[in-house]
Amino acid sequence: MASTFGHLFRITTWGESHGGGVGVVIDGCPPGRRFELDAIQAELDRRRPGQSRITTQRQEPDQVEVLSGVFEGQTLGTPIALLVRNKDARSADYDEIRTKYRPSHADFVYDAKYGIRNWMGGGRASARETIGRVAAGALAQQILKEDCGTEIVAWVKQVGNMASTTNVDTVTRDLVDANIARCPDGETAERMIQLIDQVRKEGDSLGGVVEAVARNVPPGLGEPVFDKLEADLAKALLSLPACKGFEIGSGFGGVTMRGSEHNDPYYPEEGRVRTRTNHSGGIQGGISNGEPILLRAAFKPTATILKEQETVDVDGNATTLKGRGRHDPCVLPRAVPMVEAMMALVLVDHHLRQRALGPST
């Protein structure tokens, strides 16, 4: 199983949803870096279940433990191991899927690939695996902030067919976290909350779009031709549970424009090269150009719903299944810190790769 991500700054996540715990090993973090445990815990608190009525009601404290790689508040340059113990798993809720496949979930394909699966909570296919990503991403954000002044902010742009309008130049983490929908447009956020609440009561689920911006990304990050920055960002985001689409800059909307409209004209500004528009989304030729990196990730509706659906059992017999247990009616609010974490992991890895080229770069 491919559980490792990154080149110089590498993470390996481990653990299952209903096992003893989940966590991450971070390898390649430079020594002597401040390790802010409170900042890591804060990001896990933004991701944890049970934080509002529109998320899963599984009650997990998600308290992180540092097992190695840190001494007196600084990184040692050795592998950093972080652990979060599972406290509120209810495996009995999953008894029925021991022998039945949930539609659009990973149950069938895990059996097809490995010949065995952990049916309790979905095992590695559960979004609980992302705890390790978010913890490692929090450390990556600390390094990026210290070295480059880089800031990453993600928010819920759309839930179902309800979309918000957000000024990407002024949106802040505080605005995003001001409501449980994690949409900085307060008026639209209230309508999103009502919609998610309604669908939750109906036993159904919703999808949507998370938008994100990375500011103060230095020019020069990215490794053409196969490790282009947007290619690595796409892989990072699409590896998240339920993520089904990725756009950067103008994305698919750019196909309606002519080259004369879509090109980003250059101009000088205080010794820097800037662009007057940012249809490229901060990346050209697979390399960051110093403008904000703007991207969007589409998440499908949560697969496990409380409505009866057609399916088959492990012997291939037709049957029906009605989901049980505690599940997010919409993954978007908790996906926000996951998107920020994966962006940070890509950017810090490319930052270290660029630094390894030497002072001439």
Tokens of 59: 């009650």
Write out pLDDT tens, residues 238-252: 999 999 999 999 999
pLDDT of residue 60: 84
- The arithmetic mean of pLDDT across residues 220-232, rounded, is 98
Tokens of 276: 């007057």
pLDDT of residue 324: 73
pLDDT at 188 over 80: yes
Phi, psi of 189 (to 5 degrees): -60, -40
How many angstroms separate the CA atoms of 343 and 288, rounded?
13
How many angstroms separate the CA atoms of 286 and 221, rounded?
8
pLDDT of residue 120: 85
Q: Give the type of residue at 234.
A: A
- Higher pLDDT among residues 121 and 84, named by residue: 84
Query: 360 falls in which pLDDT band (50, 70, 90)?
Result: low
Q: Residues 188, 178: contact at Cβ < 8 Å?
A: no
Q: Which residue has the tokens 């049957």?
A: 319
Query: 258 falls in which pLDDT band (50, 70, 90)?
Result: very high
pLDDT of residue 304: 87
Q: For the chain, what percent of residues have pLDDT higher than 70?
A: 97
pTM reported for the whole predicted model: 0.96
In sequence order, which residues have a C-beta less than 8 Å from that of residue 21 and are 6 or more positions away?
15, 83, 84, 85, 86
Give the residue among 214, 227, 67, 210 at the shortest CA–CA distance from 135.
67
pLDDT of residue 87: 86
Phi, psi of 350 (to 5 degrees): -70, -30
Check the CA dihedral 200-202-205-206 and report its sign.
negative
Query: 289 falls in which pLDDT band (50, 70, 90)?
Result: very high
Tokens of 26: 């971070």
- The arithmetic mean of pLDDT across residues 229-237, rounded, is 98
- The arithmetic mean of pLDDT across residues 199-218, rounded, is 97
3-state secondary structure at position 303: coil
Query: 359 falls in which pLDDT band (50, 70, 90)?
Result: low
**Angle, vertex CA 64, rays to CA 298 and CA 49, nearest 5:** 45
Q: Residues 34, 74: contact at Cβ < 8 Å?
A: yes
Range among 58-67, 104-113, 325-334 with highest mean pLDDT value: 104-113
Write out pLDDT tens, residues 24-59: 999 999 999 999 999 999 999 999 988 888 887 777
Least confident residue range of 120-124, 170-174, 314-318:
120-124
pLDDT at 95 over 90: no
Distance of CA 212 to the CA centre of its chain: 10
Q: Residues 107, 101: contact at Cβ < 8 Å?
A: yes
Q: Residues 116, 109: contact at Cβ < 8 Å?
A: no
pLDDT of residue 89: 65
Q: What is the residue-averaged pLDDT of the chain? A: 94
**Angle, vertex CA 131, rays to CA 130 and CA 136, nearest 5:** 95
Tokens of 300: 């499908």
Cis peptide before 225 (omega within 30 of 0): yes
In order of their start, the domains of the chain are 4-356 (3.60.150.10)
- The arithmetic mean of pLDDT across residues 293-310, rounded, is 95
pLDDT at 88 over 90: no
**Angle, vertex CA 72, rays to CA 70 and CA 75, nearest 5:** 35
How many angstroms separate the CA atoms of 321 and 96, rounded?
8
Quote the DSSP letter at residue 102.
P
Query: 91 falls in which pLDDT band (50, 70, 90)?
Result: low
